[in-house]
Every structure is written in structure tokens, then in C-alpha cells.
Structure 1
Amino acid sequence: MDSIAEFLKQFGALGLFVHSMIDAIFFPIPAFFTQVSLSMIDPQAALQLATVGFIGCLLGTPVGYGIGRLSGKVLLHKFLKKKWVDSATAMFGKNGEAAVMIGAFTPIPFKVFTILSGGLNFPLWKLMVYAAIGRAAKFYIVGSLFYMYGRAAEGMVKQVSMYVFLIAVPVLLIGLFVKRKLANRAKAKGAAGGKATVAAQASHSEEA
């Protein structure tokens, strides 16, 4: 796998595109490493590389999802570490949207989340939306650092990614929690309104 990753680097942006695509499908080495290596070579092209990687990831995401629909967890347990699969499954059990968002930042390979989404029948459109937000943040944070600070950004990338994870993930979780609470409250009001209407209609019928 290391040899394949090194081979892809030789093709520059095209190699990053392919790596990002297969990263969302089956390849165990994250495209992050190819992005960093290529950005080190040409920091001025870092944002273009981020865009290429982002597009490749989005194109690979529905393919990983389709594999999940066909094979489910069997393929994951066969080719990936059990701890990755178990952690991602636990995240999906609590909140699928949060799992995808967190998965975009964690060291757990992203294909675990794309395949699990298919295996657990998580809506594809939701996977695409939350994957786009999370992966865009990851690719463009790295790209922006190299574009602004050049090769000196190599030492910053991991630290900044960690800080973004520590700040962004709690904010996202709070946002999803508030969204769910508001949805439940609206549903409860709707149900209460429906019962009141039924009661009024029954009362009117009795009077008639």
C-alpha cells in the first residue's frame, strides 16, 4: 500500500485525485499524506491541490456507499482494523450525521464511514452533504496553511487539524443536538394540535 501511495505521488494533482477517490472506497492510507507531500513541493499550488483532493473524495464517496449496500460490514471486517469498524459503528448508533462529520477529521479511514453508511442504510444525500462539509474543512485547512506559510506549514498541519477537531466537532454536535430538539418540539406541537383538532371535531359531532 505504501508503494502504491508513493507511485501516485509521481503524478502530482492527478495522483492526489485518484488517491482521494480510492481513500473513500477501499484504500487504507489517507489522502492527507499525499496532499501534504505535494503541497511541500509546490506550496503555491496548495489550494488547487485541496480542490482536486476534495472533488476526488466526493466522487469516491457514493462508490464506497454502494459497496456498503452490497456487502455491509463483512468487507470492512475483512480488510480493516476491527477497532476502526467498532468505533465508527458506535458513532452511527448515537447519531449518523455526527458520525460522518467526526469521521472527516478522525484518524479512522474515511471509507469506514462511507461503507458503513451503505451497510446501515444511512441516506446517501445526507452522507454526501456532511461528507462535503467535513472533507472540505480538512482539505482546505491543509491547503490554506501551505499556501500562507509555505513549507513551514508542515509542522503546523497536525496541530491545527487537532485544534479544529477539538473546536469544530463539539460545535457541530451541539448544533445537531439543538436541531434534533427543535424537530422533536415541532413534532410534539404538531401532535398536540392534531389531538386538539380531533377532540374539537368529536365535540362538535356530539352537539350536532
Structure 2
Amino acid sequence: MLRRLYDWVMGFAGHPNALWVLAIVSFAESSVFPIPPDVLMIPMILARPSRAWLIAGVCLVASVLGGLLGYAIGAFAFEEIGRPIFEALGKIERIEQFNEQFNDLSFWPVLIAGLTPFPYKVITIMSGWTGLPLGTFIVTSIIARGLRFFIVAALLWKFGAPIKDFIEKRLGLMFILFCLLLGGGFYVLKFL
């Protein structure tokens, strides 16, 4: 079923209303939808590199707005909507354990989930559920999602189709390494 959904989303890449579909997918992916916007974003930029920045901007705005929906789900409807989403993702036991530490980590979970392949919807819902300050959530979401979408757009704009495999297979790992180095750097500065 997930493969059919993926193929269905991919079918919109060349559609005249592809930007609207991309906005809807980016919005939904931040709160409930399992397919990341990259599956539309990449072929759209490859087809029209001159629109790379517009496409990344649409992903950013829609993703942050969708993240606010995820935050609201966590804050106001966790039991009715959030818990079933986590159960479907197989994450319910882990989030209950992580809940105690979540706000102590401040912006880090939002930054890391916004950059890496970790399901962003998990963090948006948890942010509302745990009461992470809304301002911290919004600013960190803008930074993380902006970096993610604009780096992908820049790579595709500059290198075109040859970079596609790297983005699809290794960019998530590169973002994870970046976050580990960034976190390690802050840790060293804090304790030296």
C-alpha cells in the first residue's frame, strides 16, 4: 500500500498544479502523512531547475504550517489523534520513554528531526504534547526545514540529475552526521 501511495504522489511531479500538490504533501507530512515531500520536490526541480528556490520555499512554508498542525494535535488531541499516529508508526513505547527528557533537550529534537530522515511528524506532535515553547518550536522548524529543503534545491540546481542518487541515498546520513558534529561541538563548548 505504501508503494502505491508513493507512486501516486510521484505521478503529480509533472502535473500543472504540482506546486499545490507539493504544498499539500509538505503540510501533511509534518503531521500525519507518511511520504516525504522530497519525492515530489526532486523530480520537480530536475524538470525545472530555474524554479528550485520557489519549490524549496513552498516546501518550507507548507512544512512549518503542517508542523503547527502536528503541534496542535499533540497539545490538544494527543489521545484521539496523536497516539494512533504513533501506534501506526510503531513508536508509542519509545515516545512515552522519551517524553520525560524531551523538553530538557530544548530545540535539539526539532532540529534533528527537521533535518534528518527521522519522521518529522513524530517530533511536531511530541512538541505539542510535552509543551515545548511554541516560539522555540517555530524558529527551530524554520531553520531545520529551511536547511533541508534549500540544500536539496541547491544541490539539484547546481548538479542536476547526477546528484539525485546521492540525495536519495546519502543526504539523510550526511544530515545525521552534521547534527552529531553540531551537538558534539556544543557539548564540548559547554563542558570545557
Q: Which consecutive residues of structure 1, in runs of 5 or more, have no partner in the other structure?
A: 183-208
The 3-state SS of whatever aligns with 1:107 is coil
| Residue in 2 that maps onto 1:116 | 126
1:86 corresponds in structure 2 to: 94
Residue aligned with 2:42, SS:
helix
TM-score, structure 1 normalization: 0.74
Specify the alignment match of 1:134 in structure 2.
Answer: 144
Q: Cα deviation per residue 1:1-24 (whole Å; 9 max; x = unaligned)?
A: 436524654322221112111111
Helix, strand or coil for the counterpart of 1:104?
helix
- Which residue number in structure 2 is paired with residue 189 of structure 1? none
Indicate the structure whose relative CO is greater, using CA pairs within 8 Å and at least 6 residues apart: 2
SS at match of 2:122: helix
- Distance between the aligned counterparts of 1:181 and 1:74, measured in 2? 42
> Within 5 A, what are the aligned runs for 1:53-72?
53-72=59-78
Structure 1 runs, 4 residues or longer, greater than 3 Å off: 1-4, 6-9, 174-182
Q: Report how many aligned residue pairs link the two structures.
A: 181
Single out whichever of 75-84 and 55-64 deviates more from structure 2. Answer: 75-84
Determine if contact 1:21/1:59 at 8 Å carries over to the other structure.
yes
Equivalent-residue separation in structure 2 for 1:70 and 1:33 (angstroms): 30
Residues 123 and 7 (structure 1), Cα distance of their counterparts in 2 relative to 1, 3 Å cut = farther
Match of 1:198 in 2: none
- Identical columns (%): 25
Q: Does 1:24 find its partner at 2:30?
A: yes
Identify the residue that residue 203 of structure 1 maps to in structure 2.
none
Separation of aligned partners in 1, 2:186 and 2:148: 20
CA apart distance, 1:107 = 2.3
Q: Structure 2-normalised TM-score?
A: 0.80
CA deviations 1:75-117 (Å, max 9, x no partner) are 3341331237726963726614111111113322211111111
Larger Rg: 1
Paired residue type of 2:162: A
**Separation in 2 of the partners of 1:164 and 1:38?**
22
State the one-letter code of the partner of 2:135. W
